[in-house]
Chain A
Amino acid sequence: MTPLTADWVMQRLATDGRAMADVVGEFIKPNDRLTSFERIELYNKQYWFRLIDIMYEDYAGIAALLGRKRFNKFAEEYLKKYPSRSGLLRNLGRKIVQFVSEAPELTAPHTQMVLEMAQCEWAQVEAFDAPQKTPLTIDDLLGKDPATTRLTLQPSITLLDLHYAVDRLLISVRKEGLRSEASNASEGVGSAPSRRRAAKAERAFVAVNRINNSVFLERLQEPAFAILKSLQAGATIVEAIEAATPEDADAVEWSAQVQEWFKNWMGMRWFCRK
């Protein structure tokens, strides 16, 4: 679809330089109320308005960081480069993380923050409806040698190493969205600058995951995150733990801590059969 002008109307010139009204008039009939141009413009506008609105809903965190006007431009440029390739709207943002890196001018000087928000939001899309594989139980692991055993994480889990607290901002944006839905308010509160201040610079290790069909953003300690990352990359249990062990770790405390983490992860059914 031809992009709209800055005033959100259809372009007056076609890509070959001819007047759009002439081009459209060749194949669309006018009626007694609308010209051919105006009739096609209805579709042209609807395409952009609809898809940008859908992106605004699905990527409310990015919109919160950029503000509505800048987000509209961001979404328009994204859709120009990566139009939908699927009948399922959940796939519309499939390239959004890549796009933030490819077009930094659209998000500068906050590109890294927006990139991490895009990672979080795309991970949420994936977590929402990823397959649920049969979870591993304690019995499945009994008698297994941790030096040779590899664990598979549920497909719904994405591990993110963040440098901004975008996870917390995203949670608050979603909560506000729900509140404004409940009160029929049209917009959430908070300006883009105040949002960006809220997403302060801070290292955070986050697992985006789904439990009982609800999506969560779970903060992890750095060594726990490192273990899961290694397991996800195919390391054995022993290899993963060893790689994450702090140099100054107290052996007894460290061992107890690792056991506690594994117990939690098993409880949340994060490991599954291949």
Chain B
Amino acid sequence: MPANRFNGFTNLGIGIGLRVPHYGHILEKKPVVDWFEIISENYMIDAGRPLEVLDKILEQYQVVQHGVSMYFGSTDPLNREHLKRLRQLVKRTNTPFLSDHLCWGSVDGNYTHDLLPMPYTFAAAKSTAERIRQVQDFVEVPVIVENVSSYAEFHLSEMSEWEFLSEVAEAADCGILLDVNNIYVSSQNHSFNPLDYVNNVPHERVGQIHLAGHSKFERYILDTHDHAVIDPVWKLYARAIELCGPTATLLEWDAKIPSFEEVHGEALKARKYLQAVNQRAADKSAAKAAPATRPARRQPVGV
């Protein structure tokens, strides 16, 4: 299940976001990291230091692109210039797939640089899926969509967020980047059970999982990516990989960024959950392979 057509049949392991404060450490120490995720928009440029660093990283590591401004849920025509630059970068990085968010964020060509929540309607699902298909056709690699964290809900919504995500993914025939921190943040802001979300998305479409930390305020939670992952989010993660299989996992840490070792160490906590899933899968297949007879009796000592 983890390597599927939505993630380019890759099985990447545990990665972290490539961030400027870690450039020096990575280039100098060349730490062992399964993969890095880059924010596409930071490298959709003609030349300069970011591309120089990226090229050096690409010599050593697998890189996957993650976007923040495709706005699948907006109704503006797709920005062709943006798409061309994105495709150029896809060719440069050889990313096996790319991701962006299930949200909107631009109106009449004006960009908010935010990930705004959508009304969960069938009409919105249809138009969003159409845009995802167009992008996928243009960039020629699989596109997976990520659920966002949100702080507001629409009266207009006709279904739950996970139903909407499923509806969009099915209609676009695309994969899902399941952000379990975002599920947790939204569940607290909108008072739903996050396990309902994790249990009910189409697991066979999940191509990647995101983990992150957030900030809790008195009356709401903000998705700030500036802390370690909290236990309830790890529990959601455990449930997600139990259902989806040992999926490519990435830790996002975007503000108050600590040392490379701390960020990578936090990401590697995912390993024990992945190992548990692998172990269960191995036990299951061993049990299947064993003959259906009574367990062998222990031999008496000395006989």
Contact B189 A210, beta carbon cutoff 8 Å: no
Contact B114 A89, beta carbon cutoff 8 Å: no
Q: How far is the CA of A86 from the CA of B41 in the complex (A)?
A: 10
Instruction: Chain A residues near B281: list those with CB within 8 A.
Output: none
- Most chain-A Cβ atoms within 10 A of its Cβ — which of B109, B111, B189? B111
Contact pick for A84, options B51, B113, B189, CB 8 Å: B113
Contact pick for A128, options B49, B106, B114, B155, CB 8 Å: B49
Tell whether B152 is near chain A: CB-to-CB under 8 Å: yes
Q: A42-B151, A131-B46 are in contact. Are A87 and B79 (CB under 8 A)?
A: yes
Residue interface mask B239-256, A partner, CB < 8 A = 1 = 000000000000000000
Contact B113 A89, beta carbon cutoff 8 Å: yes
The interface size of chain B toward A, counting residues with CB under 8 Å, comes to: 36
Q: A42-B151, A43-B152, A128-B48 are in contact. Are A31 and B190 (CB under 8 A)?
A: yes
Chain A residue nearest in CB terms to B218? A33
Contact A129 B82, beta carbon cutoff 8 Å: no
Question: A44-52, A68-76, A114-122, A161-169: which lies at the B interface?
Answer: A44-52
- Most chain-B Cβ atoms within 10 A of its Cβ — which of A31, A130, A132? A31
Q: A31-B190, A90-B45, A129-B48 are in contact. Are A40 and B112 (CB under 8 A)?
A: no
The interface size of chain A toward B, counting residues with CB under 8 Å, comes to: 37
Quick one: which of A154-208 are within 8 Å of B by CB? 156
Tell whether A104 is near chain B: CB-to-CB under 8 Å: no
Tell whether B220 is near chain A: CB-to-CB under 8 Å: yes
Contact B190 A89, beta carbon cutoff 8 Å: no
Residues of B within 8 A of A (CB): 41, 44-52, 68-70, 79, 82, 106, 109-114, 116, 119, 151-156, 189-191, 219-220, 222
Q: Give 5 closest A-B pairs by Cβ, nearest first.
A: A87-B69, A129-B45, A129-B48, A131-B46, A33-B219
Q: A26-B155, A43-B151 are in contact. List 8 more A-B contacts (CB 8 A).
A: A31-B190, A42-B220, A50-B114, A87-B111, A88-B44, A132-B47, A213-B47, A214-B49
Residues of A within 8 A of B (CB): 1, 26-29, 31-34, 36, 38-40, 42-43, 46-47, 50-51, 54, 83-90, 128-132, 156, 210, 213-214
Q: List 6 A-B contacts (CB under 8 A).
A: A29-B152, A84-B111, A87-B79, A128-B49, A129-B45, A132-B48
